[in-house]
Structure 1
Amino acid sequence: MAHAFAALSAWQVMQAGLLFFGGIYLVFGATTWLLTHRLLPALGIGRRLDPRPLAPGQLRRELTLSGLSILLFGTGMIFPWGLLQLGWAGLAPDAGWPQILAEILVLMIWNDVHFWINHRLLHTRLLRRFHLPHHRSVVTTPFSTYSFHPIEALMLGNVILLPMVLHDFSFWSLLAVPLFSLFFNCIGHANYDFFPRVSYAHWFAASRRHHLHHACYNGNYGFQFTFMDRLFRTRLQADAAAGPLKAFRQRASLDSQT
């Protein structure tokens, strides 16, 4: 597979990238939507986090922006392919599963570091205008995952380039990055608490933490884990959005009584 990828033409790489990113976005997004809006509520598993309704036209806007992000991510596969063509990076075709699993773990940790740094930069005065389109989704959906301004998509989409220059990874380890990234991103944007009984600090509570990031705008800049927010003291308290959510529930209760 490593040799096959390196042997593709530039156009073939971009076409394959578009199909890959478009496919996993639709599959993961639709599956998470069905789970959190149909199956899990019917089974009494988990709970919705933010009860407020979606903004008018939100899903259409998210799908439109996501389409642009998929275009950038897909055609952007030319850059890791280019590193291989130039000899600046290589692939490990004979890597065994222990090595692949170890590489995936390293890439997961790097992904969290990379995400925190870029996400924190996107909340600075200089770059926050490029992050505001994503934050228009105050109540998130799985389709919010790729709902980015193109600048944000470019910043977040270069996660594997530096590791590729530093180490010859297995093709399968690199392929795992967009898969676990999108999977956990869909979970984080699902507006659903899949494991209500685990503590707020547990990495299974990532959807709770990212829900608070959107509800409060600042804080909880990490991806799946909490070590970067702990290190830089940017983690929100578990009840950070309690005020506005309580006010919404009170208004909804009054409206139902009139």
Structure 2
Amino acid sequence: MGATFASLSAIEVMAWGLVFFASIYLVFGGLTWLLTRHLLPWLGIGRILDPRPLAPGQLRREFSLSAVSILIFGTGMIFPWGLVQLGWATLTPHASAGRIALEILALMIWNDVHFWINHRLLHTRLLKRFHLPHHRSVVTTPFATYAFHPVEALMLGNVILLPMVVHDFSFWSLASVPVFSLFFNCIGHANYDLWPQVSYSHWFAASRRHHLHHACYHGNFGFQFTFMDRLFRTRLNADAAQPHIDRHFSQAATRARKSSS
């Protein structure tokens, strides 16, 4: 498959990239929405994390921003393709299953490091204006996963470039990065705790941690794992969102009393 990828033209690479990113966004996002909004609550499995309603027009805005991100990610496949064409990177053919598994594990760890660094930068005074469009989804949905400003999409979308120049990966290992990234991202943005029984520190509790990030804005900058937030002391307390949620319903009750009087 690596040889096939290298033999494609630039236009073909970008076209396939657009199809690939649009497909995984719609499939993973749609399935996560159906599971967490309908099937799992009906079965009594898991729980909603933030009971506040979505903002008016939120889904439309998320789809609009995500369409731009998909355009950037899809056409951006020209960059890893270009590294191969220039001889700056090589795709290893006929990699064993064990090697691919180890490469995917290494890329998952690198993805968390890369995400934390870029996410933390996006919360600085210099770059926060590029991150605010994503944070307009205070109560998150799976379709917020790609709802980025173009600058943020460019920052997060370059995750495989550095690994490619320091190691000869299998094509399948590199292709797994957007797949597992979007899969975990959909869960993280689902506003649904699929495993309430696990501890807040467990990597299965990533949806809890990312829900807190959106509800509180600061803290919990990591992706799926917790080691970067632990290392840099940016992890939020497990109940950090509760005052914000309580304030919302208190204000809503006050408005309701005033309107009825």
What band does the TM-score fall into relative to the shorter chain? over 0.9
RMSD (CA atoms): 1.2
Q: CA deviation at 1:108?
A: 0.1
Q: Which residue of 1 aligns with 2:54?
A: 54
> CA–CA distance in 2 between the matches of 1:248 and 1:48?
16
Q: For 1:1-258, what aligned pairs fall within 5 Å after superposition?
A: 1-250=1-250, 255=256
Letter in 1 for 2:32: T
In 2, the alpha carbon distance for the partners of 1:10 and 1:247 equals 52
Structure 2 residues without counterparts, runs of 5 or longer: none
Percent identity of paired positions between Structure 1 and Structure 2: 75
Secondary structure of residue in 1 paired with 2:158: coil
Q: What letter corresponds to residue 225 of structure 1 in structure 2?
A: F
User: Cα distance 1:43–1:252, how it changes in 2: closer, same or farther (>3 A)?
Assistant: farther
Q: Name structure 1 gaps, 5 residues minimum.
A: none
Superposition deviation, residue 244 in structure 1: 1.6
CA distance in 2, matches of 1:248, 1:161: 43
Distance in 1 separating the partners of 2:25 and 2:55: 21
SS at match of 2:219: coil
1:40-97 superposed Cα distances (whole Å, 9 cap, x missing partner): 0000000000011111100000000000000000000000000000000001112100
Tell me how many residue pairs correspond in the alignment.
Answer: 257
How far off its partner does 1:247 sit? 2.8
Paired with 1:105 and 1:58, the residues of 2 have a C-alpha distance of 34
Distance in 2 (alpha carbons) for counterparts of 1:206 and 1:109: 15
Q: Specify the code of the residue in structure 2 equivalent to 1:147.
A: A
Q: Given residue 158 of structure 2, which amino acid in structure 1 is its aligned partner? A: N
Q: Deviations over 1:12-42 (max 9, x none)?
A: 0000000000000000000000000110000
State the AA in 2 paired with 1:94. H
Q: What TM-score does the superposition give when structure 2 sets the normalisation length?
A: 0.96
| Aligned mates of 1:252, 1:75 — CA distance in 2 | 44
Query: How far does the alpha carbon of each residue in 1:223-252 deviate from its partner, in whole angstroms, 9 at most, with x for none?
Result: 000000000000000011111212334456
The one-character-per-residue Cα deviations of 1:95-140 (angstroms, maximum 9, x if unpaired) are 1000000000000000000000000000000000000000000000
CA distance, structure 2, for counterparts of residue 152 and residue 252 of structure 1? 33
Counterpart Cα distance in 2 of 1:248 and 1:120? 27
